[in-house]
Amino acid sequence: MPAFLCNGMLGTLCKLMRMCGFDTAFSNEGTAILVQARRENRVIITRNTRFQNNADVHYLAASDPLEQLNTVITTHGLKTNIKILSRCLECNAPLEPIERSAVQDRVPYFTYQNFNEFSECPVCHKIYWKGSHYTRMINSINAALRRIDPAKD
């Protein structure tokens, strides 16, 4: 599965891709992203027309994030690779399982009482569980997958 680098106006897409579990870096740099992408072996995803004709770059015409996600999933054949709640939405790091007893003082009381499985980002130490945000993630990704007419690249 390729790793990706979203730039500029694609902050929302970047989060959606991390929700799907895709390794996705984000950068606001200009041409420096070409160097970063080569160094980290990432496919650049951008709406910057400056990179439109670069063969190594996936240029997106659509402005709607769900449509963009659909295009990325379709173009790179990623539908069967989707793994929700496997990557931190903030830092892109793979999440690690953490014992329920270890999160007692780190999540709201209701959450601790009602959920058994938790995972933690090893970088920012944010705790994730399959609560309402998890349901919203699934709904967003399903909405993206339902789009039948994704924008052409």
**Stretch (H or E) spanning 57:** strand 57-59
Least distance (Å) from Zn ion to the CB of residue 46?
24
Stretch that binds Zn ion, among 1-9, 79-87, 120-128, 140-148 (CB under 5 A): 120-128
Distance CA 152, CA 31 (A): 24
Is residue 122 a contact residue for Zn ion (CB under 5 A)? no
Least distance (Å) from Zn ion to the CB of residue 128?
9
2 residue type, one letter: P
Is residue 143 a contact residue for Zn ion (CB under 5 A)? no
Distance CA 22, CA 28 (A): 19
Is residue 127 a contact residue for Zn ion (CB under 5 A)? no
Is residue 124 a contact residue for Zn ion (CB under 5 A)? yes
Least distance (Å) from Zn ion to the CB of residue 89?
8
Least distance (Å) from Zn ion to the CB of residue 11?
16
Three-class DSSP labels, 76-109 = CCCHHHCCCCCECCCCCCECEEECHHHHCCCCCH
Please tell me the count of residues contacting Zn ion according to CB under 5 A: 6
Least distance (Å) from Zn ion to the CB of residue 111?
18
User: Binding to Zn ion (CB under 5 A): which residues in 55-114?
Assistant: 88, 90-91
17 closest CA partner among 6, 29, 27, 9? 6
Is residue 32 a contact residue for Zn ion (CB under 5 A)? no
Query: Are 73 and 144 spatial neighbours (Cβ–Cβ below 8 Å)?
Result: yes
User: Which residues contact Zn ion (rule: CB under 5 A)?
Assistant: 88, 90-91, 121, 123-124
